Chains A and B, each alone.
Chain A
């Protein structure tokens, strides 16, 4: 069965937040919200969990740090030790002060790029990907709720529409749901 979807459009971030609160209290599951900028406080209302991107950055940073230390130990201590001004370089610990800058840079390099790449992949935002916002104005000054009927089996489309119309909407539309990506 083809899924159907209801799009409710609002013109203010505070209004959509109030509306979302009301609809969720009525037992409606809001699938997603499209907005031109982050609406602070909408995530807990519609049940979006807090992102773990910060942990991703930390793990990538740790990996970068490890790789830098491992690499420098191999290049400078194990494989080809160089005598530079007679400075002690018999072990990683002795030579560590000289390795701090590169270790730091590598940590940051990996944390930043690892997180950015994960972010783009998880968002499915990559060069050439199609956009799937339902109306072009959602990147400008409109805020749209996406309510999938399959997410709300206990309500009919008419019931949901009636509830949505009680909130301060600009426009409501029901159509065939097409999954773009």
Chain B
């Protein structure tokens, strides 16, 4: 993840898992939109019998192919390298022969030698260092898909930072939604404190404000640039037939995170959960506004129309949410949701805060998967 601070250890494993599962889902849509899935490998520069016709490396769409596949595979490797020692811990504690076999296979025979830990620390540090610019690059390059086109409403230079801020914003909201449920269901109150929730809320508030500034800049520039198509695109967004989507986007993404300025609200778990759902919905409306309102009315008034999703559209969307949760539930059930080895390293320095920490401590809140952290 982006930050190398100790509080990340409460959430990084699960946040990375969510990222990976979400990128699986996100990657499916371009594949579906290719139309002919079975020739999807044509996006790669492979020798072929069309006179060796290569893919176009000048195109942002191809950059996206490389960006998303790099992001997905590097995130996966980062996540898995961190998981190996934790799988070893579970392997050595497992009772059933099936579990021992499965976790032996998944832990790759990790034994925890001093040299291996020495390498582990550098490898995870370098991977974190590589993954951080990847987060920026993948969202910037996705925004290039829009920004380098000539569609009014898309053709803006603010898109890369705006998409990066939006991604962090919605990413943290999603982490809040899922972690609050996970914390409750798996009794992780000793590991995920109110303090962690509060920090994440501050990130949501900050990035929400950045997204708000981006929206306003877009509006200002559409007028200031003097391009009438651009000006019309934004006028149409705010007051046209899709004004309601724009209003939802503005309220949910810009106004609602501002409530996190109140300490009482950002420390309230119920309110956090509510806001995280609101932000997730708001970010969905942002994509809807960017895509639908920009292309339902473009240069040719004769082809102006409204967008009505078919049952297939809705079905595919709901299906990806279902698939995401299938992966996520399987992860929660079988994988260590906290970075066990990492948490152990800070046990001594942060152990004190268990006593004066803000979270309510439940006595005996060990759960089935991770029983081994505290009582060393």
Contact = CB atoms under 8 A, between A and B. Distances in A.
Interface of A: 11-12, 32-40, 42-43, 46, 48, 50-51, 53-54, 57, 71-72, 75-76, 79-80, 82, 84, 87, 89, 95, 98-99, 101-102, 104-106, 108-109, 111-113, 115-116, 119-120, 122-133, 136-141, 181
A141 B372 contact: yes
Interface in B43-91: 45, 51-60, 62-63, 66-67, 69-70, 73-74, 77-78, 81, 84-85, 88-89, 91
Contacts of B6: none
B121 interface: yes
B341 interface: yes
Contact of B109 (A76, A130, A136): A130
B115 interface: yes
Contacts of B141: 101
A129 B108 contact: yes
Contacts of B127: 112, 115-116
Contact of A108 (B74, B117, B144, B341): B74
B81 A116 contact: yes
Interface stretch (B129-137, B166-174, B215-223, B264-272): B129-137
A120 B74 contact: no
Contact of B58 (A57, A76, A140): A76
17 contacts: A36-B112, A51-B115, A53-B119, A54-B122, A54-B126, A57-B130, A75-B54, A79-B52, A79-B54, A112-B131, A115-B126, A131-B91, A131-B107, A136-B92, A139-B91, A139-B110, A141-B372
A35 B45 contact: no
> For chain B, what secondary structure do more than half of its interface residues adopt (helix, strand, loop), or is it mixed?
helix
Nearest to A140: B372
A95 B57 CA distance: 10
B45 A75 contact: yes
A38 B120 contact: yes
Given A80-B54, A98-B57, A141 B91 contact: no
B93 interface: yes
Nearest to A101: B63
B346 to A, nearest CB: 10
B58 A87 contact: yes
Contact of A119 (B57, B81, B91): B81
B105 interface: yes
Nearest to B374: A141
Given A76-B58, A80-B53, A108-B130, A101 B108 contact: no
Interface string B293-316: 000000000000000000000000
A158 to B, nearest CB: 26
Nearest to A112: B74
Contact of A132 (B93, B108, B109, B120): B109
A98 B58 CA distance: 5
B235 interface: no
B123 A115 contact: yes
B345 A131 contact: no
Contacts of B74: 108-109, 112-113
A77 B330 CA distance: 47
Contacts of B122: 51, 53-54
B164 to A, nearest CB: 14
A147 to B, nearest CB: 13
A131 B53 contact: no
Given A37-B117, A123-B116, A76 B54 contact: yes
A115 B77 CA distance: 10
A135 to B, nearest CB: 8
